[in-house]
Amino acid sequence: MTTIYILWLRQLKRYVRSRSRMIGSLAQPLLFLVALGFGFGPVFQKAGQGNYMNFLVPGIIGMSIIFSAVFSGMEIIWDRQFGFLKETLVAPVSRFNIMLGRTLGGATMSLMQGLIVFFISMFFGFRPENWYLFPILLLLMLLVALLFTALGTMITCLLEDMQGFQLIVNFLIMPLFFLSGAIFPLTGLPKIMSVISSLDPLAYGIDSFRVILTGSTQFGLHIDVLVLSVVTVIFLSLGSYFFSKIQV
């Protein structure tokens, strides 16, 4: 437990010290929030779908979490190149604890990113329906952050260079985001699109956010939590396995 706590704390210190990273990771979600929220809002309302800002904010929160979570895996490549990973791996602790500590640290950073976007969105007119469900929202955001941080760790363990990681992650993240229902409803889609969206774990994360924040849902909260929990366990297991095989 001490190792997990130390690695978790180290990840947080990295995040707090890197102000440019904090600002840069917020730029894209805020751009989407402003450009799409105010740009497509009137069209969305004329189509009889209600307030687009209320629909969009849960998706942008999910976007900020997934980008921050997956890209936190890049730190393993940095640590491998500069020798810190080797020093960590030779410590008399299990690699699972090391991987878990790093994953919890990355997930906590991603949770903080999501919270910042959530509070900023209130300046643009977003109002959650049920404030008393906010603790549940935090748990759901942490679950999504754990899922995608473990995914980023798994990908990083299979690669050795930064360029390859960025190409693969961008190729993976953008489809996950656009097919998750973050910026458009999943109802009424072509059948093939509906099937693909139902295989996207981020879709269940964003849907769970919408249940808490706006009361609307596509799959149902119990399905969202079940899918997210199962996929998180799978990715944590795979991430732990590949991390145990990493060579430095």
- Tens-digit pLDDT profile for residues 127-155: 888 888 899 999 999 999 999 988 888 88
Read off the tokens for 96: 């699972």
Read off the tokens for 45: 């309302």
42, amino acid identity: P
CA angle 142, 146, 150 (to 5 degrees): 170
Q: Is the pTM of this model over 0.85?
A: yes
When mean pLDDT is compared across 15-19, 39-43, 51-55, 130-134, the lowest value belongs to 15-19
Where b means 16+ CB within 10 Å and e means fewer, 124-137 reads eebebeeeeeeeeb
Nearby residues of 107 by Cβ (< 8 Å), 6 or more positions away: 69, 142, 145, 146, 149
Query: How many CA atoms lie less than 13 Å away from 117 in the CB half-sphere?
Result: 33
The band of 207, judged by pLDDT with boundaries at 50, 70 and 90, is very high
CA angle 130, 222, 155 (to 5 degrees): 100
- Tens-digit pLDDT profile for residues 102-112: 888 888 888 98
**Taking a C-beta distance cutoff of 8 angstroms, is the pair 100, 145 a contact?**
no
